[in-house]
Amino acid sequence: MSQVKAYGAEANDADLKQLDIKRREILPNDIHIEIDYCGVCHSDIHQVRNDWKNSKYPVIPGHEIIGHVVAVGKEVTKFKEGQKVGVGCMVDSCQNCEACDEGLEQYCENGMTATYNSPDKHLGGHTFGGYSEEVVVDEKFVLNVSEKLDIKAVAPLLCAGITTWSPLKQWNVQKGDKVGVVGLGGLGHMGIKFAHALGAHVVMITTSPNKSEDAERLGADEVLVSKNDEDMKKHANSFDFILNTVPVGHDVNPYLNLLKRDKTMCLVGAIEPLKGVNGGALIVKRKRLAGSLIGGIQETQDMLDFCGEHNIVSDVEMIDMQNINTAFERIVSSDVKYRFVIDMQSLKN
Ligand code: NAP
Ligand code: ZN
């Protein structure tokens, strides 16, 4: 076991501060990673603040991890020392259920092990995430990253990337489809980039008119301000797919009105009760409201490979670990362009 520096919160109303945590000795299939960068996801804030009522303290967040391999277990074949690698939202699953067999580890019937805040099968207690110097992970849950991309801007692909990629693929977004992305934050900006790369006609649906120019630069063909009822009416019944990244329970009915008959809106943000969904909005045009959780390991690798081929990375603002509490406040007030990434070197200072 080794002791490493980390940043975390000891209570739901506490700021994050430096703490010491333990990492396990490497097992035969483990990769020991020194963390270089870690993205800051809105989920990190939900977990620190116990919004989902399941947090265990201390919470050491972070599931958009980029690092380099410092040691490998004796049975590891896929990775070698010095290599740049990624770790996303999961570090283990049962490997033995229908979901795992289908490469859908995120839906593991026996419960996947999330990178932080899941029971730790090795050390007891719960898992600790990437706001730390080092992590030890089974090689099955370690991803290859393209070394030709700007590696710090690859970090957010490990969560924001796969969470938006997976539903776009699942609902088979095609060239020419009219696709709406609701919420221009970390997930939303990747949603725009991917939908654009897949050839869709992309409409950014936002509460912030001042993000319009950025939305277009990121690949949106149109911007729809959701607070403008007239414009919302003009787009009624016209979308083939909507990806909704709004981070809180909200009124989904205005967005459902935008879908064509038989089309789907997929939620990835609001992991909590929604305001009253109007059954009529679904029934009269056979519309669908769905959800999606991150993506499987193979799918994550496919997404990373696609990004390598198409030169896709996140738009990031680099921060030092010591500035994390301010970054959290800015994310909550929708003031992030478009993902904070922590330079882990700062934790050594
Ligand atoms: P983020 O960077 O804060 O972006 C969310 C955006 O949603 C905001 O920038 C804002 O965009 C819009 N928004 C915020 N509050 C809103 C409201 N009340 N009504 C309408 N729009 C609102 O967050 P993120 O990191 O992208 O994460 C988004 C959500 O996805 C979080 O809840 C996170 O926990 C969740 N998540 C889920 C998964 C999954 O597997 N399903 C994975 C990762 C994250 P505009 O200014 O453009 O309106
Ligand atoms: Zn995340």
pLDDT digits (tens, 9 = 90+) for 247-259: 999 999 999 999 9
Instruction: Please give the helix or strand (H or E) that residue 288 lies within, else none.
Output: strand 288-291
Compute the distance from residue 101 Cα to the ligand 2 centre, in Å: 24
Which pLDDT does position 147 carry in this prediction? Answer: 86
Atom 21 of ligand 1, nearest CA residue: 246
Q: Is 211 in the pocket of ligand 1 (CB under 6 A)?
A: yes
Q: Is 219 in the pocket of ligand 1 (CB under 6 A)?
A: no
Give the CB-side neighbour count of residue 116, counting CA atoms within 13 A: 29
Compute the distance from residue 100 Cα to the ligand 1 centre, in Å: 28
Task: Of 24, 63, 73, give the one whose Cα is nearest residue 143.
Answer: 63
Compute the distance from residue 186 Cα to the ligand 2 centre, in Å: 9
Residue reference for tokens 């990190």 = 44
In Å, how far from its chain's centre is CA 243? 14
Compute the distance from residue 251 Cα to the ligand 1 centre, in Å: 14
Q: Is 159 in the pocket of ligand 1 (CB under 6 A)?
A: yes
Domains of the chain: 2-159+315-348 (3.90.180.10), 161-291 (3.40.50.720)
CA Rg, the chain, in Å? 20
Give the CB-side neighbour count of residue 103, counting CA atoms within 13 A: 9
Atom 20 of ligand 1, nearest CA residue: 246
Task: Of 247, 250, 197, 253, give the one whose Cα is nearest residue 220.
Answer: 197
Looking at all shown ligands, the one closest to residue 271's CA atom is 1
Which ligand 1 atom minimizes the distance to the CA of 246? 7
Q: Is 76 in the pocket of ligand 1 (CB under 6 A)?
A: no
pLDDT less than 50: residues of the chain: none
Structure token pair of residue 152:
């710090």
Q: Is 332 in the pocket of ligand 1 (CB under 6 A)?
A: no
In Å, how far from its chain's centre is CA 10? 23
Q: Is 245 in the pocket of ligand 1 (CB under 6 A)?
A: yes
- Quickly list DSSP for 17-62: EEEEEEEPPPPTTEEEEEEEEEE--HHHHHHHTTTTS---SSB---
Q: Residue 127 and residue 63: Cα distance in Å, rounded? A: 11
Tell me, yes or no, if the pTM score tops 0.85: yes
- How far the first Cα of the chain sits from its last, in Å, is 23
Which pLDDT does position 349 carry in this prediction? Answer: 78
Q: Which residues contact 31 (CB under 8 A, 6 or more apart)?
A: 69, 71, 72, 73, 76, 79, 85, 136, 137, 138, 139, 142
Q: Which residues contact 100 (CB under 8 A, 6 or more apart)?
A: 93, 94, 108, 109
Compute the distance from residue 227 Cα to the ligand 1 centre, in Å: 16
Task: Count how many residues are written for the chain.
Answer: 349
Which pLDDT does position 1 carry in this prediction? Answer: 86
Looking at all shown ligands, the one closest to residue 166's CA atom is 1
Structure token pair of residue 335:
């003031």
